[in-house]
Amino acid sequence: AVADSAAKTAALPHTNEEATKARDAARRAELARLESARAYEAKLREVEDRADAKLRKVERAHEVALKRIQGVSVQEGAAASKKATEALRGLAAERQFTDREAAARAAWGARVDALTSELAVRTKERAEALDLQRVAYESAMHVAVVDAVAEAVESCDADKA
């Protein structure tokens, strides 16, 4: 308890000057925070104003298009409608092409993977076959050497006798 009391006393400002400095620092920090918040709000208002301006521009263009379609010129409205339909068809065709291209790439990737895997299997089988041939060759050579040594021993024994 005495240690806690001493720590609290050490943390408190000892003079009026220190207390004033601490209050001034707290005020400056609060003012800086408020100024930062104001700047942020101003930026948000600016962004909102730009978005509103864009929206008004789109609304005006929409109104003009409606007027054209509704009566100023039926032919212009039909032409605009046809143009929009063609643009949509073009986008749809482009999307289909992109989808087909993606599917072709995926199929090609799958084929490459299949060929790679098949090559790995064949390589492994060939290595196993070669290893078996090597073992068989070494075994045959070992038998031949043993037979040759046995013949040499027999011929030496025959020469001694």
pLDDT of residue 152: 81
Dihedral, 61, 65, 68, 69 alpha carbons, nearest 10: -170
pLDDT of residue 157: 75
pLDDT of residue 148: 81
Q: Which residues contact 68 (CB under 8 A, 6 or more apart)?
A: 76, 77, 80
pLDDT of residue 8: 54
Q: How far is CA 25 from the centre of its chain?
A: 46
Alpha carbons within 13 A on the beta-carbon side of 131? 6
**CB neighbourhood size of 73 (10 A):** 13
| Residuewise pLDDT in 10s, the chain (161 residues) | 555 554 555 555 567 788 888 888 889 988 988 898 888 888 888 888 888 888 788 777 777 776 666 655 556 666 666 777 777 777 777 777 677 777 777 777 777 777 777 777 777 777 777 777 777 777 777 777 878 888 887 887 777 66
pLDDT of residue 11: 54
pLDDT of residue 72: 54
Q: Domain residue spans in the chain? A: 13-129
Interatomic CA distance for residues 1 and 4, integer angstroms: 5
